[in-house]
A and B are shown apart, each in its own frame.
Chain A
Amino acid sequence: MKSISPLLKIKNLRTYFDTHAGVVRAVDGIDIDLYPGECLGVVGESGSGKSVAFLSVMGLIKKPGRIASGSIRFEDRELTALNPRQYRDIRGKEIAMTLQDSLTALNPSIKIIDQIAEVLKEHDRDMAAKGPKAIRGWALEMMKLVGIPDAENRLNDYPHQFSGGMRQRIMIAIALSCKPKLLIADEPTTALDVTIQAQVLNLIADIKEELNMSVIIITHNLGVVSEYTDRTVVMYAGQIVESGLTGDVILNPLHPYTKGLLKSIPRLSERDKAIHPIPGQVSGLIEPASQCRFLPRCSEQSETCRTEIPLKTLSGHREVRCIKAKEETDKC
Chain B
Amino acid sequence: MEILFKRLIRLIPVLLGISVIVFLMISLTPGDPVEIMLGDQQVTPEMEQAMRRDMGLDLPIHERFVRFLYNAAQGNFGRSFFHRRPVMEVIMERLPATIELTLCAMLMAIVVAIPLGVLAAVKKGTVYDRASVVMAMIGISMPGFWFGIILIILFAIHLQWLPVSGRSTFALRVPSITGMLLIDTLLAGRLDSFIDAVKHLILPTLTLGLAMAATLMQVTRASMMDVLQQDYILFAEAKGLKRHRVIFLHALKNALIPTITVAAIQTGQLLGGNMIIETIFGWPGVGSLVVKAIFTRNYPLVQAAVLIYVVIYVLMNFIADILYTVLNPRVRI
Contact = CB atoms under 8 A, between A and B. Distances in A.
Interface string A217-255: 000000000000000000000000000000000000000
Interface residues of B, number: 23
B17 to A, nearest CB: 36
Interface string B303-333: 0000000000000000000000001111000
Given A104-B230, A107-B254, A109-B329, A89 B240 contact: yes
Interface string B228-267: 0011101111111111010001100110010000000000
B329 A104 contact: no
B240 A119 contact: yes
Nearest to A59: B237
A105 B234 contact: yes
A239 B72 CA distance: 77
Contacts of A162: none
Interface stretch (A94-102, A205-213, A258-266, A275-283): A94-102
A104 B234 CA distance: 10
Given A118-B245, A158-B329, A88 B235 contact: no
Contact of A109 (B231, B241, B253): B253
Contacts of B250: 107, 110
Contacts of A181: none
Nearest to B249: A110
Contacts of A110: 249-250, 253
A105 B329 contact: no
A15 B243 CA distance: 23
Contact of A174 (B239, B242, B330): B239
B46 to A, nearest CB: 71
B237 A60 contact: yes
A91 B235 contact: no
Interface string A130-167: 00000000000000000000000000001010000000
A318 interface: no
B330 A160 contact: yes
Interface in B196-245: 230-232, 234-243, 245
B253 A99 contact: no
Nearest to B331: A160
Nearest to A160: B330
Which of B230, B235, B327: most chain A Cβ within 10 A?
B235
A97 B238 contact: yes
Given A101-B231, A158-B329, A160-B330, A109 B254 contact: yes
B240 A93 contact: yes
B241 A122 contact: yes
Contact of B231 (A96, A104, A119): A104
Contacts of A215: none
Nearest to B233: A107
Contact of B240 (A98, A107, A123): A123
A88 B257 CA distance: 28
A108 interface: yes
A160 B328 CA distance: 11
Interface string A53-86: 0000010100000000000000000000000100
Contact of A106 (B232, B238, B245): B232
Contacts of A174: 239
Nearest to B332: A158
Given A99-B231, A99-B234, A108 B254 contact: yes
A52 interface: no
A44 interface: no
B241 A96 contact: no
Nearest to B241: A122
Nearest to A158: B329
Nearest to B243: A84
Given A60-B238, A99-B235, A109 B245 contact: no
18 contacts: A60-B234, A88-B241, A96-B238, A96-B239, A104-B230, A104-B232, A105-B231, A106-B232, A108-B328, A108-B330, A109-B329, A109-B330, A110-B249, A110-B250, A110-B253, A119-B241, A158-B329, A158-B330
Interface of B: 230-232, 234-243, 245, 249-250, 253-254, 257, 327-330
Interface of A: 58, 60, 84, 87-93, 96-99, 101, 104-110, 118-119, 122-123, 158, 160, 171, 174
Given A91-B237, A99-B231, A119-B240, 4 more contacts: A60-B234, A109-B328, A110-B253, A118-B241
What 8 pairs between A and B have smallest CB-CB spacing? A92-B240, A91-B240, A104-B231, A92-B239, A105-B235, A107-B232, A158-B329, A105-B231
